[in-house]
Amino acid sequence: MYVYDAFDRTLVAERVAEFRDQVARRLSGELTEEEFKPLRLMNGVYLQLHAYMLRVAIPYGTLSSAQLRRLAEVARKYDRGYGHFTTRQNLQFHWIKLEELPDAMAALAEAGLHGMQTSGNCVRNITTDQWAGVAPDELEDPRIWAELIRQHVTLHPEFSFMPRKFKIAVGSSLHDRAALRIHDLALRLHRNGAGESGFEVMVGGGLGRTPFLAKTIKPFLPKRDVLSYVEAVLRTYNQFGRRDNIYKARIKILVHELGVEAFAKEVEAEWQSIKDGALALDPGAASEIAGRFIYPDYKRLDDSPTMLTQARRADAGFDAWMINSVANHKVSGYAIVTLSLKPEGGTPGDATAAQMDAIADLADRYSFGEVRVGHEQNLTLPHVAQRDLHEVWRALNAIGVATPNVGLVSDIIACPGLDYCSLANARSIPIAQEITRRFSKLDLQRDLGRLHINISGCINACGHHHVGHIGILGVEKNGEEFYQITLGGKADSDAKLGTLIGPAVPYAKVADVVEDIAAAYLELRERPDELFIDTVKRLGVEPFRERVYAAR
Amino acid sequence: MTSPLDQKIRITGPVVVTANRVGDGTVVYRRADGGWTTKLASAAVTTSATAARELIKQAAADDLRAVGPYIAPVKLTAAGELLPGNLREAIRLGGPTIDLPVTFGI
């Protein structure tokens, strides 16, 4: 956990006071909506179909139990008793009243939470691997660097009015769990040939209307240079990014139109002029940040304690959950536990206040008071002693977050879609719900193996449909909801954009199509352990296209 | 932000002017008397572009009470009942088409 200092606390408290004044002036008529809108957006306040929405930043997806409890309290007191965890490791309240927002924000601020830079053309919440600091395949904790950059770009005047929003992700593992290549700027910690650790720098990724995967412009950047190089990228984008057309304003378009080499050259020139200035990090800078992270005081425990082995033998449900939802921890005797927010028929990413409170209590009791949010819209208890796993499972099961479907077909990523969002063309959530019902049998889900479905209700792609193994995009045709289906996308270290398989299908047929695709995969795979995504890679989308459209 | 007065008005059937209430975001409809209502049945309905233009002009001037006014299609049933003209408007009026988590039981 990172602990805010007095500076951070003051900044957040002052922002609440400022926003309280702005809201009062809006409600009194002193500010028009035109004047007020940019001010509310700077605090993560949107207007959706039914109500205002408040987006709360969860930097690098790390929450303390106290913060989660506070989110629950705000959900209960100022919203409708639940919150929605997003693909950007944030949380959204969908029923907030403007009149009550200052009080809700003040309550959040007391726990170090806020909505700053969760909207607007600035650097948004910096995301990372939800297993940061505990993953065995990690080089070092990427959150140190995410926090360093967060501090640098928070309310940075030069980067508060960029051509468009800017999303940064930091990763540090062999396996990319942070979807690095779909970010405007991604930093991957790794070692060079000399054994030094530094960053691979990737730019120009993003989904939406014109999807691109980020391209590497610096294979190895020494740590001392990370702030100056990030600044150089932001300045280059700020200078050359298009402001004349919102659809062409993201850095991905600039990188594409300029060419990655030319863009890298511009960044390099800017960087050379600032790299040895004030932004060059002294060796103690990262340690100072790291010093404000509180790491658990792990006990010395053995892996696979006898009681765990016995419980797995005695309880098939527990064993299934262990196989699916529990991962190895870098410290022996501990485990990483994923909490599925994808129950059959539920809304992906939603958690009730009661669930949040219960999870906060479990985090205190079993996970050193820490919870993580993943971009897959699930939660993680990052430090659970293996000897406690059976008890933890029983407790999670009791509150409906132990469905052993993590990474399987029913672990669907979906945006709120037309049920909430004013930008959406079509609904996402009921499509996800129907698919989970069609694949309710766990045996079938396990047989299908790892299979990621991503659903977006419009081309803005908040559900990351381009990188779903099966991607589903809602579009509107003559007032009706239709859905385009793509196959073969993925967001890991070997990221790829999916391929459209054919004409869009109507709302009522989407789940049928997914069933057809799954059935085709079961027939087409070479062996039971060939993953869906590997079958698509081997055969292309044609056999799936035939299967889907032959009957229609 | 595009002013509602700058929006093109294409009317192919009955329409109302809708917006969100400033204080809490609730969906509201413009009434003929210049007020706002949460009941679609009480909304001012027109099939005329001129009348719609006038309705939206007045609504946009009422920035203190309602935000983001625009013209939305409605349907009139044979029985005279007023219904939302498309799915988006049906969801705005009736709420999400899914059970909220608290009612879903998780």
Q: Is there a contact between A350 and B96 if contact means CB atoms under 8 Å apart?
A: no
Q: How many residue pairs bridge chain A and chain B with CB atoms within 8 Å of each other?
A: 89
CATH number of the domain to which A75 belongs? 3.90.480.20
> What are the chain A neighbours of B23 within 8 Å (beta carbons)?
27, 97-99
Residues 6 or more apart in contact with residue A455 via CB below 8 angstroms: A412, A413, A414, A415, A417, A428, A431, A432, A463, A465, A468, A471, A472, A473, A474
β-pair type (A326-328, A334-339): antiparallel
Q: Do residue B97 and residue A419 have CB atoms under 8 angstroms apart?
A: yes
- Count Cβ atoms below 10 Å from residue A450 Cβ, excluding itself: 14
Residue A133: closest CA among A170, A172, A191: A172
Quick check: is B39 in a domain? yes
CA atoms within 13 A on the CB side of A471: 31
Task: Note whether A52 contacts B102, CB cutoff 8 Å.
Answer: no
Taking residues A254-273, what's their average pLDDT? Answer: 98
Question: Do A424 and A493 lie in a common domain?
Answer: yes
Please tell me the distance from the alpha carbon of residue A490 to that of residue A544, in angstroms, as a whole number: 17
Q: Closest chain A residue to B18 measured between Cα atoms?
A: A49
Q: Which residues on neighbouring strands pair with residue A455, listed in sequence order?
A: A414, A472
With CA atoms as reference, report the closest residue to A45 among B18, B61, B20.
B20
The whole-angstrom distance between B97's CA and the closest CA on chain A is 6
Q: Which of A29, A352, A400 has its CB closest to that of B64?
A: A29
Which segments of A8-149 are extended strands (E)? Answer: 45-47, 52-56, 62-64, 82-85, 91-96, 127-128
Pairing of strands B15-21, B27-30: antiparallel
User: Does residue A459 carry a pLDDT above 80?
Assistant: yes
Question: What tokens were used for A391?
Answer: 């008890």
Residue A223 and residue A217: Cα distance in Å, rounded? Answer: 16
Contact B28, B57 (CB under 8 A): no
- Domain total for chain A? 4
What tens digit of pLDDT does each residue of A147-162 get?
Answer: 999 999 999 999 999 9
Does A480 reside within a domain?
yes
User: What are A15-71's pLDDT values in tens digits?
Assistant: 999 999 999 999 999 999 999 999 999 999 999 999 999 999 999 999 999 999 999
Instruction: Per-residue pLDDT tens, chain B, 106 aa: give them.
Output: 455 566 677 888 999 999 999 999 999 999 999 999 999 999 999 999 999 999 999 999 999 999 999 999 999 999 999 999 999 999 999 999 999 987 655 4
Q: Please report whether residue B102 resides in a domain.
A: no
The answer to whether A26 contacts B25, with C-beta atoms less than 8 Å apart, is: no
How many angstroms separate the first and last alpha carbons of chain A? Answer: 53
Nearest to A346 among B87, B92, B104 (CB): B104
Chain B residue whose CA is closest to A30: B64
pLDDT (0 to 100) of residue B9: 75
Rounded Cα–Cα distance for residues A67 and A193 (Å): 41
Binding-site residues on chain B for chain A (CB distance < 8 A)? 1, 20, 22-27, 63-64, 67-68, 86-88, 91-92, 95-98, 100-102, 104-106
Residue A404 contacts residue A321 (beta carbons within 8 Å)? yes
- Which amino acid is it at A332? S
Q: Do A49 and B26 touch (CB under 8 A)?
A: no
pLDDT > 50? residue A203: yes
In chain B, the number of structural domains is 1
Query: B98, B99, B103: which to substitute to probe chain A, counting the most A Cβ within 10 Å?
Result: B98
Q: Flag if B95 and A47 touch (Cβ within 8 Å).
A: no
- Contact between A83 and A77 under an 8 Å Cβ cutoff? The reply is no
What is the residue range of B71's domain? 4-86
Strands A91-96 and A52-56, sheet pairing? antiparallel
**Closest chain A residue by Cα to residue B25:** A51
Alpha-carbon span A480 to A187, nearest angstrom: 41
* Contact yes or no for A50 and B104 at CB 8 A: no
| φ, ψ at A403 (rounded to 5°) | -65, 125
Are residues A492 and A429 part of one domain? yes
Min distance B28 CA to chain A CA atoms (Å): 10
**Of A92, A97, A93, A98, the residue nearest A19 (C-alpha):** A98
Is the dihedral angle over the CA atoms A3, A6, A7, A9 positive or is it negative? positive
Q: Which of A398, A430, A448 corresponds to the end of one domain?
A: A398
Task: Judge: B97–A37 Cβ closer than 8 Å, yes or no.
Answer: no
Q: From the list B1, B22, B101, which residue is nearest A27 (CB)?
A: B22
Q: Are residues A428 and A330 in the same domain?
A: no
Which pLDDT score, from 0 to 100, does residue B1 have?
44
Taking contacts as CB-CB distances below 8 angstroms, the residues of chain B near A26 are 22
Amino acid at A548: V
Residue type, position A254, single letter? L
CATH code of the domain containing A439: 3.30.413.10
Nearest to B101 among A47, A49, A352 (CB): A352
pTM of the model: 0.96
Handedness of CA A32, A38, A43, A46 (dihedral sign): positive
| Cα–Cα–Cα angle for A529, A87, A142, rounded to 5 degrees | 85
Contact A81 B102 (CB under 8 A): yes
Domain end marker among A258, A291, A324: A291
Question: Does A33 reach chain B within 8 Å, measured CB to CB?
Answer: yes
A79 touches chain B (CB under 8 A): no
Q: How far apart are CA A184 and CA A203, in angstroms?
A: 5
Region for residue A179 given its phi and psi (left: phi exceeds 0; alpha: psi -120 to 50; beta: otherwise): left
In the prediction, which pLDDT does A530 show? Answer: 98
Task: Identify whether the C-beta of residue A14 lies closer than 8 Å to the C-beta of residue A307.
Answer: no
With residue A379 as reference, give the H or E element that holds it. Answer: strand A379-385
Do A313 and A268 lie in one domain? The reply is no
Question: Helix (H, G, I), strand (E, B), or coil: what is residue A371?
Answer: strand
Q: Do B100 and A420 touch (CB under 8 A)?
A: no
At A403 the pLDDT is 97
**Integer Cα distance of A42 and A159 in angstroms:** 13
Interchain proximity A419–B92, CB inside 8 Å: no
B33–chain A nearest CA distance, Å = 21
- CA–CA separation, A77 vs A99, rounded Å? 13
Of A34, A99, A429, the CB nearest to B98: A429
pLDDT digits (tens, 9 = 90+) for A396-448: 999 999 999 999 999 999 999 999 999 999 999 999 999 999 999 999 999 99
Residue A53 burial (CB < 10 Å; 0-12/13-18/19+)? buried
Helix (H, G, I), strand (E, B) or coil at A17: helix
Question: What's the token pair of residue B28?
Answer: 């509201």
What is residue A166's DSSP assignment?
B
- Co-location of A150 and A191 in the same domain: yes
Percent of chain A at pLDDT > 70 equals: 100
pLDDT of res. A394:
98
Nearest-by-Cβ selection for A99 from B23, B64, B96: B23
- Confidence label for A261 from pLDDT (cuts 50, 70 and 90): very high
Closest to B98 (Cβ–Cβ): which among A26, A48, A433? A433
**What range does the domain containing A91 cover?**
6-110
**Residue A542 CA from chain centroid, whole number:** 31
Of A246, A262, A291, the position where a domain reaches its end is A291
Q: Does A417 lie at the interface with B, CB-CB under 8 angstroms?
A: no
| Mean pLDDT rounded to a whole number for chain A | 97
Q: Is residue B38 part of a domain?
A: yes
Is residue B99 assigned to a domain? Answer: no
Best residue in B3, B5, B20 to probe A by mutation, most A CBs within 10 Å?
B20
Q: What average pLDDT does range A500-519 have in this prediction?
A: 98
Q: Report CA-CA distances (Å) from A437 to A220, A272, B4, B55.
A: 46, 56, 42, 45
Instruction: Decide if B38 contacts B28 (C-beta within 8 A).
Output: yes
C-beta separation of A271 from A237 below 8 A: no
Whether A83 and chain B come into contact, CB under 8 Å, resolves to no
Domain membership of residue B100 (yes or no) is no
Residues A419 and A285 in one domain: no
How large is the average pLDDT for residues A525-539? 98
Compute the C-alpha angle A439/A440/A445, nearest 5°. Answer: 55
Q: So what's the ipTM on this one? A: 0.93
User: Is A107 at the interface with chain B, CB within 8 A?
Assistant: no
Task: Look up residue A540 and give its two tokens.
Answer: 């292309």
A404 inside domain = no
The SS3 of residue A474 is: strand
- Rounded Cα gap, residues B48 and A77, in angstroms: 44
Tell whether A512 and A472 lie within a shared domain.
Answer: yes
Is residue B25 in some structural domain?
A: yes
Nearest chain A Cα distance for residue B75, angstroms: 14
Compute the distance between CA of residue A311 and CA of residue A307 in angstroms, rounded to an integer: 6
In a domain, A1, yes or no: no
Q: What sign results for the dihedral spanned by CA atoms A264, A265, A268, A269? A: negative
Classify residue A131: in a domain, yes or no. Answer: no
Q: Work out the number of other CB atoms within 10 angstroms of the CB of residue A106.
A: 15
